[in-house]
A and B are shown apart, each in its own frame.
Chain A
Amino acid sequence: MGEVIVITSGKGGVGKTTTSANLGAGLASLGDKVCLIDADIGLRNLDVVMGLENRIVYDLVDVTSGNCSFRKAMIKDKRFENLFLMPAAQTKDKTAVSPEQMRALTEEIKSEFDYVIIDCPAGIEQGFRNAISGANQAIVVTTPEVSAVRDADRIIGLLEKEDLREPKLVINRMRYQMVKHGDMMSIDDIIDILAVDLLGVVPDDEQVVISTNRGEMVVMNDSSRSGQAYRNIVRRIKGEDIPMMNLEEEGGFFRKLRQIIGLK
């Protein structure tokens, strides 16, 4: 019986879909059988982020309305032995699926997978209700901005009301240099405010944009810091005790670089 993890945030644009794709790919690369569900009906994006947009035949609404089996709608990612995507419908809206249908679907899928990861839409309306209804764990994604942290706080409250207790936090697009200069909230600032457990911090990284442009996942990029951050998060999900990345590393490296340039 697999774990069903919902990736949510409240606010849009903080990196839910990118996080979903990378955690899914990262878990699959470690040998787990993973199904990613795009619950953002009407605004599907997980397919393009993963580079699978040309292979969609059936979607989530086809499955919940009984047009086809979930196995038929799922797209197998050819790059990963164990990675599957259940795409969202693009022409319907969020009311095309009910929380009960989603619960029944995830119940069915999780019996055949190690992890079911649900990419939740932004907002707190029905799309959110649908996405969380079948989940037994939640990961909240935020960025170090007042709007994103405020929405994360609201979402954490709503998750707890729905009995998804102890959600884990991923802080995305962290810029350590800005924190150092007093221009961005630090990891500790955000954890203090939200009072939740930290699952990981992903540094702001151009490589994420570059990978996404190509329909690839940065978690497979061995030389990128964001890829390393995602790999660490994946191992923490699997229960390993991985220390947080050294924050001074980046500053140290650039400081050294600047010193070298300065000497020349």
Chain B
Amino acid sequence: MLDIINRLLGRESHSSRNVAKERLRLVLVHDRAGVSPELLQTLRVELIQVISNYMEIDEHSLEVSLDSSENQVALVANIPVKKMKRTVQTETA
């Protein structure tokens, strides 16, 4: 009964049980991969540098994270593009 009320109130996915599960899932992806937050931060900075050569991106909304499903770990980067550049400005160009 309480479950039904919870579901009606939309509380189901915000229950502390689900919050715990989700937080654990994420922290274990990092623990298992042996990736430190510092490493991800460095990756993020370098990604911005490289991508900025090709397009204008929203650096502040850029998200880089590790995710896992089944036995695979994926690097997920969500990079909002503001504008494409007409010419490629690499260092050699």
| Interface residues, chain A, with chain B CB atoms under 8 Å away | 145-146, 149-150, 153-154, 157, 179-186, 189, 193
The residues in B between 19 and 67 inclusive whose CB is less than 8 angstroms from any CB of A are 20-21, 23-25, 27-28, 31-32
Q: Is the interface of A mostly helix, strand, loop or mixed?
A: helix
Question: Which residues of chain A come closer than 8 Å to B27, judged between CB atoms?
Answer: 146, 150
Q: A146-B23, A149-B24, A193-B24 are in contact. Are A186 and B17 (CB under 8 A)?
A: yes
Give, as a whole number of angstroms, the nearest-CB distance from B22 to chain A.
10
Name A181's contact: one of B2, B20, B24, B31 (CB within 8 Å).
B2
Residue pair A182, B28 in contact (C-beta under 8 Å): no
Cα separation A206 to B2 with both chains bound (whole Å): 26
Question: Which residues of chain A come closer than 8 Å to B24, judged between CB atoms?
Answer: 146, 149-150, 185, 193
Residue pair B16, A183 in contact (C-beta under 8 Å): yes
Q: A146-B23, A149-B24, A150-B24 are in contact. Are A183 and B15 (CB under 8 A)?
A: yes
Residue pair A154, B31 in contact (C-beta under 8 Å): yes
Residue pair A182, B25 in contact (C-beta under 8 Å): no
Question: Which residues of chain B come closer than 8 Å to A150, judged between CB atoms?
Answer: 24, 27-28, 31
Question: 29 A-B residue contacts at CB 8 Å?
Answer: A145-B20, A146-B23, A146-B24, A146-B27, A149-B24, A150-B24, A150-B27, A150-B28, A153-B28, A153-B31, A154-B31, A157-B32, A179-B17, A180-B3, A181-B2, A182-B6, A182-B11, A182-B12, A182-B16, A182-B17, A183-B17, A184-B17, A185-B17, A185-B21, A189-B17, A189-B20, A189-B21, A193-B21, A193-B25
B89 within 8 A of A: no
Cα separation A179 to B23 with both chains bound (whole Å): 17
> In the complex, how many residues of chain B place their beta carbon closer than 8 angstroms to a beta carbon of chain A?
18
Cα separation A153 to B30 with both chains bound (whole Å): 12
Cα separation A153 to B29 with both chains bound (whole Å): 11
Tell me the nearest residue of chain B to A181, going by C-beta: B2
Cα separation A150 to B32 with both chains bound (whole Å): 10
Residue pair B31, A182 in contact (C-beta under 8 Å): no
Tell me the nearest residue of chain B to A153, going by C-beta: B28
Question: Which residues of chain A come closer than 8 Å to B20, judged between CB atoms?
Answer: 145-146, 184-185, 189
Tell me the nearest residue of chain B to A186, going by C-beta: B17
Residue pair B18, A182 in contact (C-beta under 8 Å): yes
Q: Which 3 A-B pairs have the closest CB atoms?
A: A182-B15, A182-B17, A189-B21
Question: Which residues of chain A come closer than 8 Å to B18, judged between CB atoms?
Answer: 182
Cα separation A183 to B21 with both chains bound (whole Å): 11
Give, as a whole number of angstroms, the nearest-CB distance from B33 to chain A.
11
Residue among A146, A157, A180, A184 with max Cβ neighbours from chain B (10 Å): A146
Cα separation A157 to B33 with both chains bound (whole Å): 11
Tell me the nearest residue of chain B to A179, going by C-beta: B17
Cα separation A186 to B17 with both chains bound (whole Å): 8
Give, as a whole number of angstroms, the nearest-CB distance from B13 to chain A.
10
Give, as a whole number of angstroms, the nearest-CB distance from A28 to chain B.
36
